[in-house]
Structure 1
């Protein structure tokens, strides 16, 4: 029956129904804010991007084709990721793909186990650590881990080489691993 509610909501949204827009906002704002925080990391910027996401949803919904349960959420999520990436590109925050950061590379080479006992780290702490990653690392990590994109897809989306995507992911995991070890040590884990 969820699909009936979803198709009705889509139909109302396509008719520019304000109540339907409000319901969609209430249903997805929290999830989309989390997506924004994973990519952008700053709440004030996330508010602006979240507004852009909903504007894009409401203006593009007329061309949306329902393909079964979950297709609306997947479509909305793709818009959110696209808007986050556009924001980062426009702000010039993806330039770290090009830069080789020797300090981070040295640190990452010293890490044997990328995510030691990840289950002992609270989700909020992990999200904060991800937000602290350099933008290029954070973007590739999000696309690879959360959006389940391949390095080929990431390379196409961001206009980088596949090897750069792979390298950025490795460095992101290595840096997170180091920070997780430090967090656990400071909080008397392990």
Structure 2
């Protein structure tokens, strides 16, 4: 599935334009995206596509659904790029990441409605285990471990750890209780700790 349908407008004659935008800062790149410049769209995806896909993959584990959510995210990005306000280098990336997370949560609420409704959000608190050492574990292995977490655990863990949301903010985003968010996070950490220990033992 092609993420940017407008890439069909790109051809070899735009090569010099692409080279120019490759070295362009975020503010200039955003301005060209607002103008619908196909070369700028190509550079944007080359620069941020991998990162945004990795963010989305933390929430969406099915490959086809991942493509759909990324496609929707890119459409939202291009549709609402006029709303973007430049606040320094890195703000375009942060803005795009927020849109991807929003689309992923929307998918989980709408497309996974039955599964979402059957999640036992109000699980009992459990003691948190000590964090195992992760410095020697490749990042892609850690990411796969996160993707193996149950939907509720994975969603809360991602929002808390990667998006730096408070339990109150997570509760509002997911329509759950604040204490439920804390419980889900605790259980997610414990499951990850078990996975990490198992991985470490197999490497010895």
TM score, norm. by length of structure 2 = 0.81
Q: Paired residues, what number?
A: 181
Q: 2:93 & 2:23 partners in 1: Cα distance?
A: 12
Structure 2 residue 45 is the aligned partner of structure 1 residue 25 = yes
Q: From 147, 160, 168, give the equivalent of 1:131.
A: 147
**2:16: which partner in 1?**
none
Q: CA deviation at 1:84?
A: 0.7
Contact residue 25 and residue 89 of structure 2 kept, 8 A: no
Cα offset, 1:20, TM superposition = 1.3
CA RMSD of aligned residues (A): 2.2
Whether 1:83 and 2:103 are equivalent positions in the alignment is: yes
Say which is worse superposed, 131-140 or 121-130, in terms of deviation.
121-130
Residue in structure 1 matched with residue 74 of structure 2 by the alignment: 54
Aligned: 1:178 with 2:200? no
Alpha-carbon deviation of 1:101?
A: 6.9
Name the CA distance, whole Å, in 2 between partners of 1:58 and 1:30.
17
Question: SS of the residue aligned with 1:116?
Answer: coil
Aligned match of 2:116? 94
Deviations 1:22-61, CA, capped at 9 Å, x for gaps: 1111111100110011111232221111111111000000
Q: Is the 8 A contact 2:59 2:104 kept in 1?
A: yes
> Where does structure 1 differ by over 4 angstroms across 4 or more consecutive aligned residues?
99-102
Shift of 1:96: 5.2
Q: Which runs of 5+ in 2 are unaligned?
A: 1-21
Distance 1:150 1:100 in 2: 17
2:129 alignment partner in structure 1: 112
Quote the Cα distance in structure 2 between the aligned partners of 1:125 and 1:116.
14
Q: TM-score, normalised by structure 1?
A: 0.86
